[in-house]
Amino acid sequence: MKNNQRQSTLNSTLKKISTFFTFIALYSLSTLALANSSVWKVSKDNDHVFIGGTIHILPEEEFPLPDEFLNAYKNTDQIILEAELPNPSDAAAQQAILTQMSYSDGQTLQDFITPNTFEMLGKYFSAIGSDVNQFTLFKPGFVISIMALLELQRAEISGEGVDAYFEDLAIKEQKKITYLETSEMQFSMLSRLGEGYEDEFILSNLDLNSNFTEFFQQILDAWRTGNAARLENLINIAAIESDEKSYDALFTHRNKNWVPQIESLFNNKHKEFILVGAGHLFGKGGLLELLKNKGYTIEQKST
């Protein structure tokens, strides 16, 4: 693939790249008590923050958002998001991402997966009106993010996500916005997903996409009602068992890095609303468990 072709693919993907993180994030939820929202109040020493588990792509019919999200936003003066994506008009930033996501020295995806897996991947892309040869210079993490976007398009699922909604609102209302990590950190992680076990990684995601639309709708239904037990039944155990390395990269390590930043928000003059992909909140090594173990009180918000 020529460089301008890769650039075109990157341009069309960049605005929605966080979809991939949501798509994977939906595989990591564990059991909490059934309640009515995906917003939690985390308290300690007469101070608190709100944490909302989000969906990064939310169909228009899912708006308005649950009241608990809107109330948490109204009662805070700062929002904290995962990472700020680079502006698609920033050519230098896009080129840096393109380089990070692509193989070099003449290598291609075919050098890291079996002919049979490549054939299956080719059939997958052909079935959805695309060509696998457009993507062979990209690393597995970026390839499956493209697959997720194509599945969303095929299912006619589109719309502004929870994070983007509140980011836009905060900009309009001049409310402070900060981020837990840089976009460079997110893309670096994405570029390494599947490294060393590329064949298994691609096959696992091909299997996952076989029931994408039904799966995504079930996730939306459970998310809206804060039904963590349902989410666990859908996705958690199988996800960890099928790809523990990716799970640790996407969630375990990042959650540990975020906890000190969340703790620094306490005992100041501000009230904060933290918005992260829902998969970061639950289960072993989830943010809520990590904070609870440090002595914070966790309260799921309901109507």
Can you give the pLDDT of all 303 residues of the chain as single tens digits?
Answer: 445 555 555 554 544 444 444 444 443 333 333 346 889 999 999 999 999 999 888 888 889 999 999 999 999 999 999 998 777 778 888 888 889 999 998 999 999 999 999 999 999 999 988 999 999 999 999 999 899 888 888 888 888 899 999 999 999 999 999 999 998 898 999 999 999 999 999 998 898 888 888 878 887 888 888 877 776 666 455 567 668 888 888 888 999 999 999 999 999 989 999 999 888 888 778 899 999 999 999 999 986
* 45: containing domain: 3-300
Q: How far does CA 122 lie from the centroid of its chain?
A: 25
Contact yes or no for 285/256 (Cβ under 8 A): yes
Other Cβ atoms within 10 Å of 209 Cβ, number: 18
What is the tally of structural domains in the chain?
A: 1
Burial of 76 (0-12, 13-18, 19+ CB in 10 A): buried
pTM confidence score: 0.86
Question: In terms of Cα–Cα distance, which of 262, 260, 250 is closest to 283?
Answer: 250
